[in-house]
Chains A and B, each alone.
Chain A
Amino acid sequence: MKQRPIKVLIAKPGLDGHDRGAKVLARGLRDEGFEVVYTGLRQTPEMIVTAALQEDVDVVGLSILSGAHMTLLPKVTRLLRERGLGDVLVTAGGIIPDDDVPALKEAGVAAIFGPGTTIAEVAEYMRSHVRPPEA
């Protein structure tokens, strides 16, 4: 059987209104052959996790520019675990200082893509790190 395309949720937690990057990534991943669920701006961690659960995504990609990443990202990973979605790959992009990266990885964010990361790099990372598909 043909391999199912990888399904990714692209979400913007928090209150910043800049979704250009998230949209560019969503479109770029579509062109890489992913099925991309785009949920738009100002998502609460609860909204993101509900969407991830209902859509049964392989990856949650979070874009955050507001500076609230140390609160919001760990909350998303914790809620994912609580709702049985601990095997979903979580990545983040946006403006995240290097100093914060170890703590975020500790909290369960698998990869952090800073400015300048290409879409091909993101796609390649996701392809090689998603959970294997079920029969």
Chain B
Amino acid sequence: MSETGLRAEELADAAVAGDRRALARLLTAVENRTATAEAALRRLHPVAGGAHLVGITGAPGAGKSTLVAALIAEARLAGRAVAVVAVDPSSPITGGALLGDRVRMQAYASDDGVFIRSMAARGHAGGLAATSTNAATVLDAAGFDLVLLETVGTGQSEVEVAAAADTTVVLEAPDMGDEVQAIKAGLLEVADIVVVNKGDRPGAQRTASQLRAMLGSSTVPGPASGEQVVGEGRTRPKRPEVLVTTASTGQGVPELLAALDRHRSAGRDGLADAARLARAEAQVWAIVSERLRDRFHGAAARPVTEATLRAVAEHRLDPYSAADRLLAALDGEQPRP
């Protein structure tokens, strides 16, 4: 086996055995999409699958980090190990990022049952969901019961990260706008659970009832009645539960944890299964497309690829015919050993 492969397996085994340094290094490899990450993920995927993956998204300032901190506290009381992946945007100009989500999650420095990792979005188109899914797989394999993926709900790729989880929580602040604003945001479409945070502010209960009315949700928590298909065959409950929390005091947080558990167990047979399948599909197709691209740019195919791309650029060939031509060229290729 290659040195990278050996190193990757050592790191993976150490991370599973509880070595936090190895875990952190693996997450870096995942972020950098290195060969080490790939080799480690091959080994870890069969070990993973036990964790509940929860996506948490919402507008900036809605209180995501504070709610995550409150959820950590609640989950620790229940004896569950919690990992957090907090994604913040990267500057499109400098590539830099300011990752500030830990500020509200500092109470667990000496608690081995809590692991927090910040990640910069790094602007890879569509790749952020792949990277965070892989990060979640690593944390899952390392034995965390609850993996929280926190993202800013401002861009498509950030929303996709949260939506790739088993359960997606969308956070709203009271009086962030009227009902029309809530519909416009589009965020609510991915919600399994909607949380109105800052419940101690005036208008929180009103916002919650407006959301319930708008989402056709009942005030009585219970299994979602009926399903609807939202894009690409993803199934979502028709009626996300709407809860009110005050994350800064912990008010409503036990109820939220209970709602997460309910969603997960209700989904074991149906909904979460669909989410898992959609996630697997996204993962595998992302890799297929990356591999295809690599092959087209490999030494053997590059001249044909470049000539074809140029022909499209110069309008001598349409892009559809170009794609067909490239795929036909691959068909004639010998499969790699």
Contact = CB atoms under 8 A, between A and B. Distances in A.
Interface of A: 1, 4-5, 26-27, 29-40, 43-44, 46-47, 49-51, 53-56, 83-85, 133-135
Given A51-B109, A54-B115, 5 more contacts: A5-B122, A40-B103, A40-B106, A134-B34, A135-B35
B28 to A, nearest CB: 5
Contacts of A133: 32
A56 B27 contact: yes
B102 interface: yes
Given A4-B31, A54-B20, A55-B24, A44 B98 contact: no
Interface string B102-126: 1100101110000111101010000
A37 B118 contact: yes
A84 B36 CA distance: 20
B98 A53 contact: no
A85 B22 CA distance: 11
A73 B116 CA distance: 23
29 contacts: A5-B95, A5-B97, A5-B122, A30-B97, A30-B98, A31-B91, A31-B94, A32-B94, A35-B90, A35-B120, A36-B97, A36-B98, A36-B99, A37-B100, A38-B99, A38-B100, A39-B102, A40-B102, A40-B103, A40-B106, A43-B106, A47-B109, A50-B108, A55-B24, A134-B25, A134-B28, A134-B36, A135-B34, A135-B35
Q: Which range contains the number of B residues in contact with the other chain?
A: 35 or more
Interface centre among B34, B97, B108 (most CB of A within 10 A): B97
A36 B25 contact: no
B112 to A, nearest CB: 10
Contacts of A26: 98
A131 to B, nearest CB: 12
Interface of B: 4, 20-21, 24-25, 27-29, 31-36, 90-91, 94-100, 102-103, 106, 108-110, 115-118, 120, 122
Nearest to B97: A35
A37 B116 CA distance: 12
Contact of B109 (A31, A33, A37, A50): A50
B88 to A, nearest CB: 9
A33 B120 CA distance: 11
| Majority SS at the chain B contact face | mixed
A30 B91 contact: yes
Given A4-B32, A54-B115, A56-B27, A36 B21 contact: no
Given A5-B120, A53-B20, A37 B102 contact: yes
Nearest to B27: A56
Contact of A38 (B21, B25, B94, B98): B98
Nearest to A6: B96
A39 B103 contact: yes
A61 to B, nearest CB: 13
Given A4-B31, A5-B120, A38-B103, A53 B21 contact: yes
Interface centre among B102, B120, B122 (most CB of A within 10 A): B102
A34 B120 CA distance: 10
A94 B95 CA distance: 27
B113 to A, nearest CB: 13
Nearest to B98: A30
A111 B20 CA distance: 28
B106 A56 contact: no
B18 to A, nearest CB: 13
Contacts of B94: 30-33
Contacts of A56: 24-25, 27-28
